[in-house]
Amino acid sequence: MMVLSLIKEAIRTSDEKLYQRLYLDNASKPKTYSFAVYLSNLDKKENVFEVDGASVTISSSNPEIAVSLINGFQQMKKY
């Protein structure tokens, strides 16, 4: 859920009207983007998971969303 929150914040930062359309006006409709998280060297020790690093891949068939994501991530100071 943390990655989804990051994506939503990037869209909101870049384009408030798009955020409103996607998440407030049409909250239950599917979105035209997807994402995957890769955790490198995942290791479980008792009840704790350790990773050496993580990468997130985001794709979209909608150019408006793709540009909004790029611009939003560029404007964000911290992730």
1 pLDDT exceeds 80? no
48: Cβ–Cβ under 8 A, 6 or more apart, which residues? none
Q: How many domains does the chain have?
A: 1
pLDDT at 77: 83
Residue 10, SS3?
A: helix
79 pLDDT exceeds 80? no
Pairing, β 53-60 against β 48-50: unpaired
Closest by alpha carbon to 22, among 77, 57, 62, 54?
Answer: 62
The model's pTM is 0.83
Q: What is the 3-state secondary structure (H, E, C) of 19-35?
A: HHHHHHHCCCCCCCEEE
Range of the domain at 69: 2-75
Bridge partners of residue 34, in order along the sequence = 59
